[in-house]
Amino acid sequence: PKFEVTFDEFKDKKSLGDSISITGKAISFSGVPIANATVAYSVNKVENRIRPFDVYDRIIDRTFSETIKIDTIRTDNEGNFIISFKSEIPQDFNSKWRVTQSFNIDASVMDATGETNESTTRLTIGNIPFTLQIDAPEQIDANDLDSITISAQNLSGQKVPAKGKFI
């Protein structure tokens, strides 16, 4: 192969019903962008519903996998491409459940010579757009609470900005 296809990390905080864009790039191994190449892509969705307050957080209803979009676009002069789609809120949505939608995005890029390379990425969103991770010792003195760190991650595991107040 003369070039590679990569996706950028998905760092957004998105919820069900939001429009989603994921960016990628086609670049030669010598660093030259693959401009005006054809990008054929598909977006496949798997939805999970988890009952709240279940100590096992069991998946209680797994819908079948469904392809929600197939399309063709082109890379720009820098070899970049943007794949956009919309997450749909399930018709029987129950706000008491934790609902996640995982999207598998497959992109196949063909350059002017006909060489084709592929890449796949996966991102997850839900009705809870991010999770908090707390880094603290098992026991801590009340005077050392400043040593606790709290970070936010989207459901795809990427750090996202979040503000809060420690009370």
Is the dihedral angle over the CA atoms 59, 64, 65, 67 positive or is it negative? negative
pTM: 0.79
* Average per-residue pLDDT for the chain: 87
The tokens for 144 are 């050392």
> Tens digit of pLDDT for each residue in 73-84?
999 999 999 999
In the predicted model, is pLDDT for residue 60 greater than 90? Answer: no
Among the residue ranges 30-34, 69-73, 120-124, 148-152, the one predicted with the least confidence is 148-152
In the predicted model, is pLDDT for residue 167 greater than 80? Answer: no
> Tens digit of pLDDT for each residue in 20-47?
999 999 999 999 999 999 999 999 999 8
Q: Which of 86, 82, 81 is nearest to 69 (CA)?
A: 86
Q: Which of 97, 15, 88 is nearest to 61 (CA)?
A: 97
Q: What is the C-alpha to C-alpha distance for residues 37 and 59, in angstroms, rounded to an integer?
A: 40
8 A C-beta contact, residue 48 and residue 102: yes
> Tens digit of pLDDT for each residue in 45-59?
998 877 665 566 565
Mean pLDDT score, 81-101? 87
Q: For residue 49, what pLDDT is reported?
A: 76
Angle formed at CA 74 by CA 115 and CA 20, multiple of 5 degrees: 120
